[in-house]
Structure 1
Amino acid sequence: MSNNTSITALIDLSRKAGDVIMDIYRNDFAVQHKDDRSPLTEADLSAHRIIAKGLAALAPDIPLISEEAELAPFAARQSWKRYWLVDPLDGTREFVKRNDEFTVNIALIEQGVATMGVVYAPALDVCYFADSSGAWKQEGDAPACRIQARPMNLEHITIAVSRSHIGHKTQSLINNVSQRHCLPEVISLGSSLKICLIAEGRADLYLRLGLTSEWDTAAGQCVLEQAGGHLVDRHGLRLQYNLKDTILNPEFFACGTTLHDWNQYLD
C-alpha cells in the first residue's frame, strides 16, 4: 500500500472516529477519571474501538499503541520496527469543557520516527496531515493546502500555550521574552492544535514543561517536521518514540524553522 493510499485511509479513519466523538459531544455524557486523575469519556473509548478496528483492517501486521489500550511490555515493543501510535481523543479536558479544541491523533512510527501523521479536530472540521510528500491542512470539504512553518523573528513572536496546563515556567519564559525582545502574542489552545499552529506558520513556539505521553505528540510532530519545524527536548534533541521503557515524553519545545535556545529564558 502506497503512502498516498495510507494517508488517505488514515484521514478517512480519523473522520469516522470524529463522527462518533461528535455524536457523544452533542449530548450528555458521563466523565470518569483514570488513576492519574485525567478524564475519560465514552468518546475516548468509542473512538479507540473504531480506530483499532480500522487500522487492523488496513494493516493487520502492524501493532498498535493507543492511550485507551493496555500498553505492551517494553521487551515486546523493542522488536517493533513500525507501529501505530494513537490518541483517540487528545484534549479530553477540552472535550469535557465543550470548547471544541480536541483532536484525533493517528501516527505511523518507523524506527522511532513518526513518518505519517493525522491530527483531526472534529468540532472544527479541520484536518492536518503529513507524510513524505509534505504537510497539509484541510478545512471542511475545501481542497487541502500545503503548510509551512516560519522562521523566527525575535521582534514579532507568537507563543502557543496550553489552555489547561500553563505553568509558572511558561509564564517565566513569556516574561523574559518580553524583557529581551518584544511583548509576544500568546494564543491559548487545547490538544495537538498548538503544534499544528506552528506547522502552519501562525505561531513560533510551544513549550511543554509538564508530563505528556508519546501518543500526545507523535502525529503533531510529523506534521510539524514535514512543514519544516522542529520538536525537540530541552537538550535540542529530536523527540523519538519507543526507545525507552516509559511512554512518557521529556519536556520539549515545538518551534518553527529556526532552532533557538529557549532554555535561556527559563528562570
Structure 2
Amino acid sequence: MTEGPAPALLKQIESIALAAGRLILEIQRGGAAVQNKGDGSPVTDADLLAEELITRELQRIDPSLPIVGEEAASAGDFSGASARTFFLVDPLDGTKEFVRGSADFTVNICLVENGRPQLGVVVAPARRELFSGDGSISYKCTLSNDLSIRGRSRIATATPASALSAVASASHENAATKDFLDKLPIGKKLSVGSSLKFCLVATGEADIYPRFGTTMQWDTAAGDAVLRGAGGCTLTCDGRELAYGAKRPEKKALQNPYFVSFGGSVEALRKLLRVSALEVSV
C-alpha cells in the first residue's frame, strides 16, 4: 500500500542515513581501508567517515540531543546513553559483510525516548532499500541508483501461521539459536546479515528472529523501531520489552541481553518463550 509523506523528523533522519549510504558506496567503489579494533572486530574508513557525517547532520537537527555512535563509543564516548532522549547510531552495521563484498550491510539511526526506540531508519545502500518507522507506522522505500527515494509503501508484520518462518544471523548462528528454533514449528528458515533481520520480520517475510549472542544497542535500535512500528515486538528471554539507554557510563552497559523479535503480539511471543522453556542468559 502506497502512503503519503512520512513525518518531518523521520524524513530528516532518512535523508541523513541516505547521505551516509552514498558515502559508504563511494568508499566501497574506491576500496575501503580495513583495520581491527581492540576486540578484533573490523572497522573501515567507511565506518568512521559515515559516523562523522551522521553526527554532524544530527547535531544540526537539535544540538542539545546527545548522540551515541558505535565508533565514538568504541573510543570511550558513550555518556549520552544516560539521557532521557538521545540518538543511537551504527554508521555501518555488518562491516564483515561489507568487507566481504556482500550487500547485507546497513546504516542505522534511531531516536531513543524513555528507553524505547521511537524513530528508526535502516538504509541498505547496496540493496537500494530503506526501512523506517515512527513507533506507530513503518515504511519500506525503494531507492534509485543514486539512493534517492523512488517509492514509499507502508509495511506491516504478517499474522504468524501454524508454521513459522525464522530469520537468523548470517554469521553468528549458534547452538542456543538452533535449540530454540528446534522446539518451535519452523517451516522455513532465512539467513541475512545486519539489521535487515528486523526488517524481514517487519515486512512479514519472516515471523521470528532469535538472537542469543552479543549485540550492542546501536546494532538493534533502528531495526527494532521499524519492527515495532510495523506491529511486531522484541522481548528479552524473560519476557520483558527490550529497553535502550544506560544508567552506568560504560560501554558494557550498552550491551543487549539475549532477545527474540516477533511479528505477532507480546502475549503470543511470551507464550512461545514458555513453550521453548528457554534457559539462556547474557
- The two structures share one fold, judged by TM-score above 0.5: yes
Q: Does 2:223 correspond to 1:212?
A: no
Residue 19 of structure 1: aligned partner: 22
CA-CA distance at 1:51 after TM superposition: 0.1
Residue 3 of structure 2: aligned partner: none
Give the length in aligned residue pairs.
258
Q: Deviations over 1:84-122 (max 9, x none)?
A: 100000111110111100000000011111110000001
1:231 to 221, 234, 249: 234
Q: How much identity, in percent, do the aligned residues show?
A: 36
Q: Is the 8 A contact 2:72 2:78 kept in 1?
A: no
Q: Deviations over 1:54-76 (max 9, x none)?
A: 011111111100001144465x7
1:45 to 45, 48, 51: 48
Q: Does 2:197 correspond to 1:194?
A: yes
CA-CA distance at 1:77 after TM superposition: 4.4
Q: Is the 8 A contact 2:68 2:78 kept in 1?
A: no
1:262 to 243, 265, 273: 273
Indicate the SS of the match to 2:150: coil
Distance 1:236 1:200 in 2: 23
Per the normalisation by structure 2, the TM-score is 0.86
Distance 1:151 1:69 in 2: 39
Long gaps (5+) in structure 1: none
Per the normalisation by structure 1, the TM-score is 0.91
1:105 to 100, 105, 108: 108
Tell me the C-alpha RMSD between the 2 structures. Answer: 1.7
Distance 2:273 2:81 in 1: 33
Indicate the SS of the match to 1:166: coil
Q: Is the 8 A contact 2:231 2:263 kept in 1?
A: yes
Long gaps (5+) in structure 2: 1-5, 144-148
Q: Deviations over 1:232-253 (max 9, x none)?
A: 1001111111144311000000
Aligned partner of 1:251: which letter? Y
CA-CA distance at 1:36 after TM superposition: 1.5
